Copies of this chain bind each other. A is one copy, B any other.
Amino acid sequence: MKKILIQLDTDPQPSVFDRVVAVDAGVDEIFSYGGVNPENVTELVHGAMFTRSPHDLKYTAIFVGGSDVKAGEALLHKVQSLYFGPIRVSALLDSNGSNTTAAAAVRTAARHLELGGSRAVVLGGTGPVGHRVAEILASRDVEVTVTSRTLERARETCEIIHEKHPKARLIPAVPHGGDFSGLMDGCQILVAAGAASVQFLKEEQWDSIPSLRVAIDLNAVPPTGLEGIGVTDKAKERGHVACYGAIGVGGTKMKVHRAAVEALFEQNDHILNTAEVFAIAERIG
């Protein structure tokens, strides 16, 4: 039975990136659709549900992608609502690479220290990737400071994460006049996940923090959010800090992405979102 992945992309053109990764993850057939939204997805999902026997449904799966993470979340929600009982197929959400990038970033940090009990700061922590980085860290017993331009947005993100992980320790924060220093006291992990061309910190603002062990900047296009980090940095030592740029994390991200696609075909009822993708990242080491 051939493995079929149905790529539901919220952008007009289905992503080449996600298709190549699916091929390299061993998918036999990819059915690619662009411009998919909750209003036009029903027939596509029914076609996945009603064509193979319950026993073979695990060989059909859905990938939700596109540049707009909120649109992807709404689409996954709709997809799940169409399932009933055992008549369902596994689905992975990775709009804008958000889940695999966040999982790779945290997995990368975990190579340098024990996550549990550590402290982290996620700059730009309310965007799709930053939010997911914070969520994963908090789920692993890391105390996470989530920064945003407004305290309201930072609080909102912390509350959403808290609902999923009641034991999470989260601190919403806004740097006062660009002063991040107090926020990072005792921080071991620093992740910058802001929008393109937003520089959060000058070099001397972060590389002098005595507790810092790992700094990750997820901006793929210079300037990076953390001055001094290059996009290709990969475990580059800067004093006592291991530094990573977006491309430096990229190898792990690609492995996680492929492994997540592979995992879809293990059974027919996986829904792979942030927590599940990180569990996969941990499994592949």
**Which of B6, B23, B40 makes the CB contact (< 8 A) with A29?**
B23
Q: Are A43 and B16 in contact (CB under 8 A)?
A: yes
**Which of B20, B29, B45, B51 makes the CB contact (< 8 A) with A52?**
B20
Whether A2 sits at the interface, judged by CB under 8 Å, is: yes
Whether A60 sits at the interface, judged by CB under 8 Å, is: yes
Q: Are A16 and B44 in contact (CB under 8 A)?
A: yes
Copies in the complex: 3
**Which of B18, B28, B47, B67 makes the CB contact (< 8 A) with A16?**
B47
Q: Please give the distance in Å from A19's CB to the nearest CB on chain B.
A: 5
Q: State A19–B51 Cα separation when bound (angstroms).
A: 9
Q: Chain B residues near A48 (CB, 8 Å)?
A: 16, 20
Whether A83 sits at the interface, judged by CB under 8 Å, is: no
Chain A residues within 8 Å of chain B by Cβ, number: 36
**Which of B13, B50, B52 makes the CB contact (< 8 A) with A44?**
B13
* Cβ-closest chain B residue relative to A60: B20
Q: Are B2 and A43 in contact (CB under 8 A)?
A: no
Q: Are A24 and B51 in contact (CB under 8 A)?
A: yes
Q: State A241–B24 Cα separation when bound (angstroms).
A: 53
Q: State A45–B17 Cα separation when bound (angstroms).
A: 9
Within residues 148 to 185 of chain A, which ones have a CB less than 8 A from any CB in chain B?
none
Q: Chain B residues near A23 (CB, 8 Å)?
A: 2, 4, 28-29
